[in-house]
């Protein structure tokens, strides 16, 4: 079994971006990071994004509205950033409080600054095999992990568990695209799927994005499968100072014995998500510099 080392692949990409940004004459790329409220996971995710941006030489602008912000006020913040020429990318950390309609907020980000790729235009471009848009960061990270681990999806049966807008749907569309590295035969499973294990056992590449700790067990996979475990689940662990540990959607201890390649949790997909956000921000800067206004 080979471990797909997301930390190492992400650091290579970050080093490549750093070289690219240092070669930019003039204004460097800038990302606006909006975090509403003080959700502890969001605090740590935004901090990581800010730190990685600084490492690359991307400017970040941190905007921290209170938990009580109204939908209209958040919309105004986004509109102001859309109009600000010195901002290349806008990310609003999910989850947002319940008075905010997340989808509407994502749709309100100017497509050319939608570096999280969750707006209608950029999701549509994925369906159209159009590379000018921004692929949302976790699915983009999965494709980069596969490419850099020499996994070509052509002719492979790719089974995705999960159909969220954030992960399941876009990764299925990317795996399906008619282009080098993709060209997979894709099956999407979800909570309404009957006899899930019979389908997952057919997978050459299994992508689990469910949000249930250790859900995929050894009896659900075939020998030689490539496993991408997207899940990040906190499970109680009294031996840890924090009181919890992180685990994926795949039972690593048993499934790794059968897999040809597998991502760990943590250290697999997670670091790639941040690296892809940075790659999208550099791309947004490049496109906006070539094509201002």
Q: Report the interface residues with ligand NAP, using CB under 6 A.
A: 138, 161-164, 166-168, 189-193, 196, 209-212, 230-233, 269-270, 273
Cβ closer to ligand NAP: 133 or 170? Answer: 170
Q: Is 93 a catalytic residue?
A: yes
Catalytic option among 5, 88, 93, 261: 93
Catalytic option among 5, 49, 169, 283: 49
- Residue number, nearest CB to ligand NAP: 164
H-helix or E-strand containing 176?
helix 168-176
Q: Is 214 a catalytic residue?
A: no
Cβ closer to ligand NAP: 14 or 269? Answer: 269
Q: Is 116 a catalytic residue?
A: yes
**Cβ 164 to ligand NAP shortest distance, Å:** 3
Closest of 120, 109, 222, 203 to residue 169, by C-alpha: 120
CB-based contacts of 163-170 (< 8 A; 24+ apart in sequence) = 163/188, 163/190, 164/209, 165/118, 165/123, 166/94, 166/118, 166/136, 166/138, 167/138, 167/139, 167/209, 167/230, 168/209, 169/123, 170/117, 170/123, 170/126, 170/135, 170/136, 170/139
**Cβ 226 to ligand NAP shortest distance, Å:** 17
Cβ closer to ligand NAP: 154 or 190? Answer: 190
CA–CA distance, 88 with 66 (Å, rounded to integer): 24
**Cβ 167 to ligand NAP shortest distance, Å:** 4
Catalytic option among 5, 88, 116, 249: 116
**Cβ 288 to ligand NAP shortest distance, Å:** 26
Spatial neighbors of 183 by CB under 8 A, at least 6 apart, are: 153, 154, 155, 176, 177
Cβ closer to ligand NAP: 77 or 230? Answer: 230
Torsion angle, alpha carbons of 48, 256, 142, 119, to 10: -80
**Cβ 215 to ligand NAP shortest distance, Å:** 6
Cβ closer to ligand NAP: 279 or 288? Answer: 279
The residues that are catalytic are 49, 93, 116
């Amino acid at each position: 079994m080979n471990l797909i080392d997301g930390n190492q692949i992400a650091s290579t990409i970050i080093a490549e971006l750093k070289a690219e940004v240092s070669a930019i004459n003039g204004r460097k790329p800038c990302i606006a990071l909006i975090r509403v409220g003080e959700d502890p996971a969001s605090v740590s995710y935004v901090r990581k994004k800010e730190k990685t941006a600084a490492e690359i030489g991307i400017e970040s602008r941190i905007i921290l509205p209170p938990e009580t912000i109204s939908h209209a006020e958040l919309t105004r913040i986004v509109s102001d950033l859309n109009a600000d020429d010195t901002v290349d990318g806008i990310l609003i950390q999910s989850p947002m409080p319940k008075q905010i309609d997340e989808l509407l907020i994502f749709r309100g980000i100017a497509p050319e600054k939608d570096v999280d790729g969750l707006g209608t235009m950029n999701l549509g471009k994925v369906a159209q095999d159009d590379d000018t848009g921004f692929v949302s960061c976790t699915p983009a990270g999965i494709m980069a992990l596969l490419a850099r681990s020499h996994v070509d999806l052509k002719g492979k049966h790719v089974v995705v568990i999960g159909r969220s807008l954030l992960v399941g749907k876009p990764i299925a569309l990317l795996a399906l695209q008619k282009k080098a590295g993709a060209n997979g035969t894709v099956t999407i499973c979800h909570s309404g799927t009957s006899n899930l294990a019979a389908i997952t056992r057919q997978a050459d590449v299994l992508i689990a994005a469910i949000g249930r700790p250790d859900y995929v067990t050894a009896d659900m996979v075939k020998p030689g499968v490539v496993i991408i475990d997207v899940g990040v689940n906190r499970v109680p662990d009294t031996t840890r100072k924090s009181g919890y540990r992180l685990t994926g959607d795949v039972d690593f201890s048993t499934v790794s014995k059968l897999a040809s390649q597998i991502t760990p949790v943590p250290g697999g997909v997670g670091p790639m998500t941040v690296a892809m956000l940075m790659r999208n921000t550099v791309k947004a800067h490049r496109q906006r510099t070539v094509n201002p206004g």
